[in-house]
Chains A and B, each alone.
Chain A
Amino acid sequence: MPEIQANLLELQNVVVTYGVINALQNVSLNVSKGSIVTLLGGNGAGKTTTLRAISALVPVKSGQVLYQGEEITNLKAHQIVSRGLAHVPEGRMVFSNLTVLENLQMGAYLRKDKKKIKSQLEFVFTTFPRLQERAKQIAGTLSGGEQQMLAIGRALMSEPQFLMLDEPSLGIAPLLVKTIFEKIVEINREQKITILLVEQNANLALEISDYGYVLETGRIILQDRSYSLRNNPDIRKAYLGG
């Protein structure tokens, strides 16, 4: 368990609406530097919306998003990336019409240093050797699990300090899910990348994370250290299958 450190990311009373639907109602959460924080909740709870609000894919109606103590609430999505945040979106969203290598190159779109891009590419290939084998392949022909690896690899290419992952286990063979979660821990430990992980698979998420938040209909209803959440009878009943 890491020491409680300075918050890398902070949400203060964030409100997001889609027309008349209140998707997020005064959501506040903190992600301390170096940690893995997980955001749990059922379908439609607002998990994806939280990540989209951080990445400026949806407008924040009120409240603030702070990154390294600076407000990033009103930036454009592409500017958020340049601050060091990366987002692996729900449904992966790899560029199916580009090759695996081109996808990774696009991940480094804002990077200028050719040498660093190359070494980062090598790092991604060592993390996910499968991607190296398929570098020339069109991304749309990859399996779901491989596309997830590619989406994570693409996010890593921007050399982020902070990585958001939206349901990386969704629709992926159980064996690959295990691999991907191991890689997430590895990325956190070895690359010192702070992680905000959205999951429906609460068991796995609480196993690898330090701290967790539970969202229900757009509100944070519970937050605690992950091991406490795992032993919380309400959580066990609602999310961990009893």
Chain B
Amino acid sequence: MIEFLQQIINGVGLGAIYALIALGYTMVYGVLRFINFAHSDVFMVGAFSGYLFSRFFQIESIFGGVMVMILSMGLCALLGMTIERLAYRPLRNSSKLNVLITAIGVSLFLEYSFQIKLTKPLLFPALFPVKSFLLPGGIILSSTQILVIGMTLFLIVLLQYIVLYTKIGTAMRAVSFNPTAASLVGINNDVVISFTFGLGSALAAAGGILYALNYPSIEPLMGVLPGLKAFVAAVVGGIGNIPGAALGGLLLGVIETFVNGSPYSTYTDAIAFILLIFILIFRPAGLLGKVTVEKV
């Protein structure tokens, strides 16, 4: 039982990061109906900006850690908006395949540009104070886990608030449902799409930093596997659906952690894709794909 609870905690910690990345995939899909394959590299850039900004603040402090996160999220929001502006917007009226290929191109561009300078993984600093808590029954809860779960929860609630209760968030849902009708009420679709990229990229940056805190080494290809899994999580939850992406991420994290602790641990990285196949066969719209109308 204790073992089970411990695995749940570890799984939720991992799943929270998948969820943060999955939200970006799902939001961009919501407004543009395409998978932004460069998103996983924004996650990677997020981790590197965290590394960069950590030099300007005291590490192992809450203030410094929060500042580093905010700055990295801001920088990556700009990066995401720039990618959209330069690479995707000119293709707004092209076929989806062209945009998809461009996204893969942007992804490779980011990965290889970072590889020019970085031949070895870098050790990621402990931004926040590190402590472990021994809970009754012998469950170990690290401050990093609390941070990851707490921060993810906070960001998801904030995102839901923006999407459901602000004017720009309502506009996002409107554009997602019908861009033509949105332009007929005076919504500039470009502005909303840009905002969506910014928001998704900021969340990916937060994910990148939280991921790096857990596995304290970062390298230019670090986004590939988590990005792919987060994409699976978004599809599992129902692509375009925000609570779905969060649910899919958490589910995947927990399942992966259990598989990893089982005799089948060699299949850990494959489990996401097995899950994907099952979902596509039995519930192609994803877990929350049809039930909810809250699509972005």
Contacts and interface: CB of A to CB of B under 8 A. Distances in A.
Given A95-B177, A96-B293, A97-B177, A102 B170 contact: yes
Contacts of A154: 185
- Describe B's contact surface by its main secondary structure: helix
Residue from A78, A93, A158 whose CB has the most chain B CB atoms within 10 Å: A78
B184 A105 contact: no
B184 A87 contact: yes
A158 B183 contact: no
B111 to A, nearest CB: 35
Interface string A125-142: 000000000000010100
A77 B189 CA distance: 10
A223 to B, nearest CB: 27
Nearest to B295: A97
Contacts of B180: 57, 77, 89, 93
Contacts of A76: 183, 188
A235 interface: no
B181 A94 contact: yes
A105 B170 contact: yes
B293 A78 contact: no
Contact of A109 (B171, B177, B178): B171
A14 B253 CA distance: 58
B35 to A, nearest CB: 21
Given A78-B188, A106-B185, A109-B186, A97 B171 contact: no
B21 interface: no
B174 interface: yes
A160 to B, nearest CB: 10
A97 B186 CA distance: 18
A81 B186 contact: yes
A139 B181 CA distance: 14
Contacts of A140: 293
Interface string A45-62: 000000000010100000
Contacts of A82: 186
A97 B173 contact: yes
A6 to B, nearest CB: 25
B167 interface: yes
Contact of B187 (A87, A106, A155): A106
A89 B245 CA distance: 33
Contacts of A55: 184
A121 to B, nearest CB: 14
B173 A89 contact: no
A98 interface: yes
B181 A93 contact: yes
Contacts of B294: 97
Interface in B143-187: 167, 170-171, 173-174, 176-178, 180-187
A78 B176 CA distance: 16
Nearest to B184: A87
Given A57-B180, A109-B167, A97 B293 contact: yes
A93 B293 CA distance: 16
Given A93-B181, A97-B177, A102-B173, 7 more contacts: A57-B184, A78-B187, A89-B180, A89-B181, A95-B174, A105-B167, A155-B185
16 contacts: A57-B183, A57-B184, A76-B183, A76-B188, A77-B184, A78-B183, A78-B187, A81-B186, A89-B184, A93-B180, A95-B177, A97-B177, A102-B173, A106-B171, A110-B186, A158-B185
In the A-B complex, the 6 residue pairs with the smallest Cβ-Cβ separation, listed nearest first, are: A81-B186, A77-B183, A93-B181, A110-B186, A109-B186, A78-B188
